[in-house]
Chains A and B, each alone.
Chain A
Amino acid sequence: MASLVGSRVERKEDKRFLTGKGRYTADINLANQTYAIFVRSPHARASIKKLNIDKALKSSGVVSILTGKEIADDKIGGLIAGWAIRSEDGTEMKCPGNPPLAKDNVNFVGDPVAVVIAESLAEAKEAAEKVEVDYKVLKAVTSTADAMNGDTIHEGIDKNLCFDWLLGDRQKVKEAFDKADKVISIDIINNRLIPNAMEPRACVADYNAASEEITLYTTSQNPHLSRLIMSAFGNVAPEHKLRVVAPDVGGGFGSKINVYNEDIVCSWAAKKINRAIKWVAERSESFLTDIHGRDHVTHAELAVTKDGKFLGFKNETIANLGAYARVFGTVTPTYLFGPCATGVYEIPAAYTNVKAVYTNTAPVDAYRGAGRPEATYTIERLVEKASMELGIDKTELRIKNFPTAFPFKQTLVHTVDSGDYVAGMEKAKQMADYKGFEARRKESEAKGKLRGIGVTSYFEACGIAPSAAVMSLGCGVGLWESAEVRFNPTGQVTVYTGSHSHGQSHQTTFAQIAADELGVPIENIDIVHGDTDKGTFGMGTYGSRSLAVGGIAIVNACKKIVEKGKRVTAKMLEANPEDVEFKDGEFIVSKSNKKKTIGEVAFACYLPGVRDEMKSPLPEGDEPGLKETSFYDPSNFSFPAGTHIAEVEIDPETGHVKLEKYTACDDFGRIINPMVVEGQVHGGLAQGIGQALYENAEYDETGQLMTGSYMDYTMPRADNFPEFNIGYTCTHATTNPLGVKGCGEAGAIAAPPTVMNAVIDALGGQEVTMPATAEKVWKACKNLKKSNAKAA
């Protein structure tokens, strides 16, 4: 049987998605359901003086209106930060309470204060307009850079500072800088983004008064985690009385990791009114209340020798958490950011200091790449600047500082098991025709255009693990993953995975893996996920962990099945288990060449007997049935890496940046399905290029979101991109049996600095901030013209 791993198997999920047969949360309608509309704060910061629902209650069709008071009275808990960060001075981070419905204070535009539940959506909306809230508007804090100087948002949290965290050794860095020939320094802003999953958030909550069970259908990347949080912290229901189902989910990008206010409120309220409640976000609600991403202000410095060896690195960052600290809000700018900020280089001394601040803006949390795009942007902009200032070719300078041997003990935290950064660089240069660039630059110049080339070499840490390590650093949960492989008596297989697919193609990739491990045709394998009733527990999908953690759990469970199969075969064929080999779905006794198929073994496990014979195929000690479970806890992260190269052409008269070429050469270890990986790379690149050239979430000084619709928030479109030139190098991960790394975030991590390095190269080294919009670039072109004229 040919191996399926490595081949472009068509996606099993596409039939359903492409024919409109997906089943998303908004597609779910329950008998007798009601509709919820949330009354949200129109102010970024205010105290609630009075909330009057009398008029609204009289509105037609209203079933119930609930406010922060009821939720507090019922002792329903608030939203939480999942990772406790300790400041450099040893103090614990400071987090404000975040009730699902605000009672006393609101802290960003969109903060919910009440829920209106009615017989129809239109009636709920109409009644919601009649809820009267008397706010005392307070001065909002909106700027990341100035947040520490603003009014105190949350009582007792001085300077709006959640923590002031350090990773690394300041003294060693100082010594390194003292020895340097040159210090390159840079001030950068990592612009705030809105994830914009295609499917807006939604939930449907149902209560069964007889079983006292709440079922919540919700747009989640991690239903078990949601259940745990809602149960342990939200006090909504004990875990065994709470079922969370995340059916088809139309994109998450991190924005659907969090348990949101609406999940808790609808679950709690469904029990209160003893009816099902449906809520579907409108796009404008998504803009306002989905978690946002990035939003860092950074000053970084690189100490170098004159021939280009890196000696030391400093990174001083202010990270905006928004109004509240959420699930991965505090780890994203710390452990997901700091360790990667030294990039793919040997830098003997380094530190990263992060001050995480609260502002009156939507909560900021993990968004595709989470911390690693910010880290890569910092180091790669700095290295590009160093190459300009030192006059050393940008690719040579990088190669000069690449690690020469693996495992590579990276300066701050990670030990990178495998990689070949030079090979990646060389291949990328070839793919991009790096050598031919000067000729292309001249051609552009002849047309009156400016052309630039930008390079990024990155590595990233995904599949965050092991549990003991992450929990020792403050994580509230372990980050293992589970799988259950269940045979039916007639030989088909159901694989439950605790990870969750919301666009990642698990149904296909995981089936390929199981098909190879078990020798069962892929059509006979179903992948199940997204329902707390269908598996024991799972940690969900984020941080490119599904394959490198969840996929390995499947492999391990399959291996246990094979082990049992060998024992059963041995018993059935009267051989020693050690003499049974398994290949392509068959158990073969090496000595006699007698065999049993895995289907026959499964059948025998479920129907362990033979007519007219008192004989069990099950060896002593083995129970009937064929189902195995694995809870896999990796020994380390996995470390994809690569080099990307972009070329842009700028029209100096309009400032328009045209992305002419984009080359991505990535090392994702073993590739299970190249088509799926290409899709992941394309999507990541679109978001990364979007950050560099188009996307920006902007608040005004009163805390109103200026980019609250697609009329103003620039979502990139297909015509913004060239055809991507994608290639790979491959070094297998040594820390897992498949040799796989993660591929989901690479594009979003590498693209922003790659594109910006190209833009800034075209602009003769002049800094522009992301996104490089026409006006910013036009201004830079004018300056360039002026300084060129002066020089001449």
Chain B
Amino acid sequence: MKDFNYHSAKDSKEASKLASSSSAFLAGGMTTIPSMKLGLATYKDLIDIKNIKKLSGIKVSGKSVTIGAATKHVEVSNSKDVKKAIPSLSSLAEGIGDPQVRNRGTIGGSIANNDPSADYPSACIALNATIHTNERKIEAAKFFKGMFETALKKGELIEAIEFQIPEKSSYQKHPNPASRYAIVGVYVAKHKGDVNVAVTGAKSCVYNDKDMSKALTGNFSSSSIDGMDLDSSEMNTDMHASAEFRASLVVTQAKKAVDAC
């Protein structure tokens, strides 16, 4: 690992002021530290945001659940409030990686990183989340731009993620047996009026499957998507799963999610 400067920011303002084109925020370090150690990324400055009080914690209102960006996965999975308001969100957090990762990794780090197989991006899409940054509010649908790419500007800091509480929801993941990231994860959320079917792991970036959403909005039953033949041409192929298998898993996991709602 190359030498770098370590800063601990006391508030969002200081954090974003310290940011430059050769810096990164340090949340749990679960992505940043291994990338630096393996020489895949080098930074001049690491700006620790864990000591910014405002970034941690969970708030539940009648309509939404708001989670501070530096809140750890384990805090989300253990939160009684989250369990009550959106149980699927709590179980999603419980299914991330392993205990070590859940004890360090953060929701903000996860969505800022936007790994195509990460779990949280699907929750953001399915639960019509709003990403609060130190500069603005961004709708989830406009936040995830592509593989490891988001709408965040350099130095922009995510402060919190606000999830809309659905009528019913479920997240079903087919994990990569080695890393436990999603080979395919499908987050189904039934809101008043429409249904979101957010898919992670299948393509280069999380997306809302329009066909399944439409079918399920019409009839919220797994039979309405059973046997759907999805186009696999844009789906990922790697040593763990072919595009064809992923296409099939998207439907299977979506059906499971609907059944579990």
Contact = CB atoms under 8 A, between A and B. Distances in A.
Contacts of A717: 98
B232 interface: no
A284 B245 CA distance: 29
A714 B252 contact: no
B248 interface: yes
Q: Could you say which interface size class chain A belongs to?
A: 20 to 34
Contacts of B181: 711
A706 B239 contact: yes
B177 interface: yes
B19 interface: no
A627 B56 CA distance: 67
Contacts of B240: 712, 773, 775
B245 A778 contact: yes
A778 B245 CA distance: 8
Given A706-B239, A712-B240, A773 B177 contact: yes
A710 interface: yes
Contacts, number: 45
A653 B252 contact: yes
A715 interface: yes
Interface residues of B, number: 19
Chain A binding site: helix, strand, loop or mixed by DSSP?
loop
A707 B239 contact: yes
A775 B245 contact: yes
Interface string A102-143: 000000000000000000001000000000000000000000
A662 interface: no
Given A654-B249, A774-B174, A778-B248, A712 B179 contact: yes
B138 interface: no
Given A654-B174, A774-B174, A778-B245, A698 B179 contact: no
Contacts of B248: 653, 778
B30 interface: no
Interface in B239-261: 239-242, 245, 248-249, 252-253
B241 to A, nearest CB: 5
A694 interface: yes
Interface string B164-190: 000000000010111101010000000
Contact of A775 (B38, B98, B179, B242): B242
Interface string A691-707: 00010001000000011
Interface in A736-792: 773-775, 778-779
Residue picked from A694, A775, A778, A779, most chain B C-beta under 10 Å: A775
Contacts of B253: 654
Contacts of B1: 122
Contact of A711 (B98, B174, B178): B178
Nearest to B183: A774
Contacts of B183: 774
Interface in A334-357: none
Contacts of A284: 38
Contacts of B249: 654
Contact of B178 (A653, A713, A778): A713
A694 B177 contact: yes
Given A712-B239, A779-B245, 17 more contacts: A284-B38, A653-B248, A654-B174, A694-B178, A706-B239, A707-B178, A710-B178, A711-B179, A712-B179, A714-B178, A715-B178, A773-B177, A773-B240, A774-B177, A774-B241, A775-B240, A775-B241
27 contacts: A122-B1, A284-B38, A653-B252, A654-B174, A654-B249, A654-B252, A654-B253, A655-B245, A694-B177, A694-B178, A706-B239, A707-B239, A710-B178, A710-B179, A711-B179, A711-B181, A712-B178, A712-B179, A714-B177, A717-B98, A774-B174, A774-B177, A774-B245, A775-B240, A775-B242, A778-B245, A778-B248
